[in-house]
Amino acid sequence: MTRKVWMGLALLAVFSLFSLGLQEAWAAEETVKIGYCAPLSGPAAAWGLPGLEGTSIWVDKVNAAGGLKVGDKTYKIEIVKYDDEGDGAKALVGVKKLVLEDKVVAILMLGGATTPPTQPFLSKEKIMCFVLIASDIAPDRPYLMDVTDNFPAYHLLHTEYIADAHPKAKKAAIISQDDEIGLAAIAWSEAGFKAAGIDVVYSKAFGVSTTDFAPIITAVLEKKPDIISMGASYPEFQALICEQAYTQGWRGIITSACWDFGAILAKVPKEFMEGAVSGFPDFDDPKLTKDHHDFWAEWKKRYPDHSFSEIVWEYMGALDVWAYGAQKAGSVKSEDVFKALKAADTVPHSFGPGKWFGKETFGNDNLLVPTWPITEIHGGKPAIVAYKNLFDWLKDAKKKQILFDTLKAWNIKTYQ
């Protein structure tokens, strides 16, 4: 079966859900609430706020069709939001409100710094929590899942692609902020470059309060890298890093977990970013499906002045996975949905059928892994240039050992 057919089948769940029973729904009998506890302000807001755009499109479409048919009931969907500002203490207040007062059955979160303080409570209450940070998965967080974003694992695939497509690029520098997200990105990126035979000449975290990147980039460029990886730098950092690299005269290959491309292009000409590598296409990419394109058209219609990023669809993508699990379980109860999802051999993901992964690296197989797209910036816009699969990468025992050795060197616990 071709990739496009697989993706089309998956997206019957991922965007329309009509094939799963919505056409049979009439007036919704009850309302089911999903919590949205993410940074809607502060330095990580670009990794939280745009997600409301995608979830609003999803909710409107489901409710306009009459609701979500689960078992013998039909539910109207409601998103209850809470701004945690990327702060752990505020996130704990938020999830307690959402669960105890609003009675949500699942919570969408960014993850990272907000995960450690919130998970003991959510685990006790047996509430599913969908994050975008796979390195948050742990044995004592049984209901925490990453079902859309394959961070930080996809850094292995980005670096492999760079080695394949740019064999003359032999030296890499890696920088990201000094927090849970940034350090995970540095470690997995370093492992990927080493496994690909690329020399890592600079690999350091910067403080989260950094505003002047001139001395950092000066130190990076002294090592003469062919590649600069921004790891998982926050969007506001990405623009400043690129500005300094451009201003100081560097030209080479840039890679990152993701982009806030509008912010970057406000600082540098689009030619500077030509060929930059990541893993998130715009949803009008010709290699994607009609359902992707329809979502893109609706989003552009609603938010014509906004720049697209992976955040727009990732929280929405978690809603699709939750709905798939609820319909398989015939229940919206958190534990029932969780069990139904984990019992499935494959689960629909926006980029095709996903399989569960993570036992050796994170302690739980709670990461949903599809075959992942690789993108390059062409003419100021990301374009899919290849597809790669994490399971294929891990088949190489030597590469796999490099990964575990590198994670250990960065004091990141594994379960090999």
* Cα–Cα distance, 390 to 291 (Å, whole number): 25
Provide the residue ranges of all domains of the chain, joining segments of one domain with +: 3-151+289-372, 154-283+373-409
Q: Of 113, 79, 109, 110, which is closest to residue 95 (Cα–Cα)?
A: 109
Residue range 3-151+289-372, CATH number: 3.40.50.2300
Per-state percent for the chain, helix, strand, coil, to nearest 5: 45, 20, 35
Q: What dihedral angle (degrees, nearest 10) is formed by the CA atoms of 92, 97, 100, 106?
A: -70
Q: Are 123 and 140 in contact (CB under 8 A)?
A: yes
Fold match flag (3-151+289-372 vs 154-283+373-409): yes
pTM above 0.85, yes or no: yes
Q: Are 310 and 258 in contact (CB under 8 A)?
A: yes
pLDDT value of position 263: 87
pLDDT value of position 27: 56
Alpha helices in 213-289 (DSSP H): 214-221, 235-247, 261-265
Question: 154-283+373-409 sits in which CATH class?
Answer: alpha beta
Q: Of 232, 218, 87, 185, which is closest to residue 412 (Cα–Cα)?
A: 185
Q: Are 279 and 372 in contact (CB under 8 A)?
A: yes
* Cα–Cα distance, 191 to 381 (Å, whole number): 28
Token pair of 380 as six digits: 């100021």
E strand segments, 7-88: 30-38, 68-70, 73-83
H-run or E-run covering 24:
none
Please list the ranges in the chain whose pLDDT falls under 70: 1-28
pLDDT value of position 15: 47
* Cα–Cα distance, 314 to 299 (Å, whole number): 14
* Cα–Cα distance, 47 to 54 (Å, whole number): 12
Category of 70 on φ-ψ map: left (φ > 0), alpha (ψ -120 to 50) or beta: beta
Token pair of 373 as six digits: 């797209």
Q: Of 376, 389, 149, which is closest to residue 254 (Cα–Cα)?
A: 376
What 8-state DSSP symbol labels residue 371? Answer: P
* Cα–Cα distance, 338 to 147 (Å, whole number): 12
Residue 242 CB: number of other CB atoms within 10 A?
A: 27
pLDDT value of position 124: 98
